[in-house]
Amino acid sequence: MTVLLQNEIAAQLKGRDFLTLNDYSKEELEYLIDLAIELKRGQKAGEAFQPLKGKTLGMIFEKSSTRTRVSFEVGIYQLGGQPLFLSKNDLQLGRGEPITDTAKVLSRYLDGIMIRTFGHKRVIELARSATIPVINGLTDLSHPCQALADYQTIKEQKGQLQGLKVAYIGDGNNMLHSLLMGAAKLGIDFAAATPEGYDADPEVVRVSMEQAAKSGAKVELVRDPKEAVRDADVIYTDVWASMGFEEEQQEREKAFANYQVNEELAKLAKPDYLFMHCLPAHRGEEVSEGVIDGPNSIIYDQAENRLHAQKAVMAAIMS
């Protein structure tokens, strides 16, 4: 693992922000995935690896979370560092202080910042003003830590990434955006089925299409879930109403009625397909119990890998 942190790509990553997967090259993403796998192996073997000893990660939560908070706190601790949880009520941000001032002050105290918030522009502004690495723990536009862990999980399960097809069914949200960005960079075929009115962000699609043309990935954006899932190696879905859109729940239930991932739909994928969900899940809505709790489901493996993927990001950019 020490060797992995001393190669040419590792040198490129030191001090970088981690805001979207599109900010990283194919080689850099592959490096982070391989580092995450190595860190996981080392932890399972009981090996101590603490490149961030004496360093502190400030964790700003303007949106609550289970997996993000626990995985980052445990991850920085295992790397030898110290987590500092900062809710919106703990900071002057909640009382109107400009995010630029917060970024400059925190940069004097901390070695890295993770933020989980709403608008993506907020993360960009924080990163521009900070002089330490900033990690996007989630915005309305992008969820890069989850997608990185997802592709790590797929590689562990399938032994490869190139040559696979990932099918996403549901809302054109931050998960679709990040999975699409990652697939386009890594050369993974990607198909997404979304209802009319719930499409992916046009700019994300445009940039991802350009990247896919370079990597050789085939990208399909369709309406019919059956078309997207056909011959897929991975089926992925998310809740129909993400955090911040709860008031649209009933409206969305009508729009997404034909977009449930269930046993009938899954029959169109390859027999050894993997089912993935970033969690939390609403069983009986976006996914049937038979699929999410069935033999093809790897939701807990991907949840665990949030820890290892984020450790890889922190070790790479903060060490």
Binding-site residue numbers for carbamoyl phosphate are 65-68, 92, 116, 143-146, 278-279, 306
Which residues are part of a known binding site?
65-68, 92, 116, 143-146, 174, 238, 242-243, 278-279, 306
238 counts as catalytic? yes
Which residues are part of a known binding site for L-ornithine?
174, 238, 242-243
50 counts as catalytic? no
- Catalytic residue, from 111, 189, 278, 310: name it: 278
Partners of 219 in beta bridges? 190
206 counts as catalytic? no
278 counts as catalytic? yes
**In 3D, which of 208, 157, 164, 204 has the Cα closest to residue 185?**
208
- Catalytic residue, from 16, 69, 111, 116: name it: 116
**In 3D, which of 300, 286, 306 has the Cα closest to residue 178?**
306
- Catalytic residue, from 146, 211, 302, 310: name it: 146
- Catalytic residue, from 16, 69, 277, 306: name it: 306
- Catalytic residue, from 120, 152, 238, 260: name it: 238
Would you say 277 and 240 are in contact if contact means Cβ atoms under 8 Å apart?
no
282 counts as catalytic? no
143 counts as catalytic? yes
Q: Which residues are catalytic?
A: 116, 143, 146, 238, 278, 306
